[in-house]
Structure 1
Amino acid sequence: MTSLLDKLDRIEGEAGLGAILLLLLLTMFVVSPAVATGALPLTFVEYLRFALAAITVIVVAQTARVRLLVAIAFIGTVLASMHWRVGEPPATVWAIKLGLGLMFDVVVAGTVAVVAFGPGRVTVFRILGAVILYLYVALIFAGLFRIEAQFLANAFSNLPESASQRFSSLLAFSLGALTTNGGGDISALHPLARSLANLEAVIGQLFPATLLARLVTLHAAGNTESD
């Protein structure tokens, strides 16, 4: 009975990866451009973050500790977005908001990594999990770039002044760095920004090879167990 319940929990967790991937694709490739054009408010991203948090906590997260971390990180981002009620200086509020948002992305990505690369048979949902991790690398680095743009003078060239347009522009720059496809009109000027972009490019090159090696190992282990 315990073994059956463990298998059902694993299947449920892996199936939740498909829902997370869908929300992530919507956030990065539909909502982000819509926010940049003014068709949607930037707060709409927070709604998608809530959906991501709910799915991760309810479906994917397999321990109470991870569920608590995801919940705390998300609640922190929501509270930070309500800075007009707190009365803190803008720089402090932005630092807290961006930091908590980054923590949220890291925790969700780590939770997905546990499910995607844990022991067990290789399934299509594990591959979806690997795609999620790849996209989350771009999202996490986009958060780091936003922090640099906020607190480093002239960190990037041709960066829009609007917060909503900055989010979309730096996300596109991050995806360009990850895929070595270029950052479009935006260029990293500050040494720290250039170093971070180079690090993301290196990760983008190493990730597919590391992913392939891990999936092959899991597949071989699964075949051995079945024999």
Structure 2
Amino acid sequence: MSCIQRLADRVAPLRKASMAALLVLLVIAVFVAPFFTERNSPMGRIAQDLLLSLILLTGVVTATERPKASVLIALVALVAIAVRGASWVFPADLTLALRDETTLLAAGLISVTIAMSVFAPGKVTFDRIHGAIALYILVGVIWAEAYQLVSILLHKAFHSATLDQNSESVSTWIYFSFTTLTTAGYGDIVPVAPQARSLANLEALIGQLYPAIVLARLVSLHSTGGSPGEDKP
């Protein structure tokens, strides 16, 4: 048995609860923390960095179901966390774009492994349902990081008369991301650059199709013999 496989076996008990833990952390980061912290405040940034780091680490645990991929995901996640920590020491203009890029890569890899678990053949379990919800929220977080990166790299990629688009805080972009994902579209932030518009269009499309696809998949799995709350054999 390889070292990677032995490590995966040791964290197997943690993996069983990792989907639920990831979902809880995502809910806190997206909906709870912004409610109790001021935008652009040091405490708000600390909370965001801590929660995003915990989300990446929990995502690494969920990926251990696929041992070979989990090594790469763990390395990328650790780099993303290290860059996030370094951003407290080095100037923002040197680290902000790199912080978003590494977080995007790590979160993207984690979302792929979660999607593979959610849509894989097998019984409909609570773990699979938690993963499906977590993946939907994670899509919003990934797009928030992408929007912030575009706003850094492209001057005036977004137009807003009320919100600070140049902030180091991702809370502005989480807000815009989820209004786009749910197609609420309040209009207080408007994508102007072609790259920003393409991202917004793609996220809105995912926001419309994902719930229907997941619902259809879970119903299909259930009809073939799975039942909610039943663990994998």
TM-score of the pair, normalised by structure 2: 0.79
- Structure-1 residue corresponding to 2:200: 197
Name the structure 2 match of 1:40: 43
1:47: how far off?
1.9
Q: How does 1:1-227 map to 2 (within 5 A)?
A: 13-33=15-35, 34=37, 36=39, 38=41, 40-58=43-61, 61-81=64-84, 82-83=86-87, 91=93, 93-158=95-160, 159-160=163-164, 161-164=166-169, 167-222=170-225
Aligned partner of residue 42 in structure 1, secondary structure: helix
Does the C-alpha gap of structure 1 residues 71 and 90 become closer, same or farther in structure 2, counting only changes over 3 Å? same
CA distance in 2, matches of 1:62, 1:175: 29
1:197 is displaced (CA, Å) by: 0.6
**Structure 2 unaligned residues grouped into runs of 5+:** 1-10, 227-233
Q: Which ranges in structure 1 are unaligned for 5 or more consecutive residues?
A: 1-8
Q: Is the 8 A contact 1:60 1:115 kept in 2?
A: no
Question: Cα gap change, 1:112/1:50 in structure 2, threshold over 3 Å: closer, same or farther?
Answer: same
Query: More helix per residue: 1 or 2?
Result: 1
State the Cα RMSD in Å: 2.6
- The number of aligned residues is 211
Residues in 2 aligned to 1:143 and 1:123: alpha-carbon distance in whole angstroms: 30
Query: CA contact under 8 A between 1:95 and 1:147: conserved in structure 2?
Result: yes
C-alpha separation between the residues in 2 aligned to 1:118 and 1:12?
Answer: 20
Structure 1 residue 51, shift from structure 2 partner: 2.3
**Judging changes above 3 Å, is the alpha-carbon distance between structure 1 residues 189 and 125 closer, same or farther for their aligned structure 2 residues?**
same
Give the equivalent residue in structure 1 for 2:6.
none
User: 1:12 Cα deviation (Å)?
Assistant: 6.3
Q: Which residue of 1 aligns with 2:229?
A: none
Letter in 2 for 1:19: A
Identity of aligned residues (%): 34
Compute the displacement of 1:84 (Å).
6.8
Amino acid at match of 1:210: I
For residues 29 and 44 of structure 2, what CA distance do their matches in structure 1 show?
Answer: 13
TM-score computed with the length of structure 1 as normaliser: 0.81
CA distance in 2, matches of 1:74, 1:35: 27
CA distance in 2, matches of 1:36, 1:151: 22
Superposed CA offset, 1:19-46 (max 9, x none): 1100000011122342516272413323
Shift of 1:213: 1.9
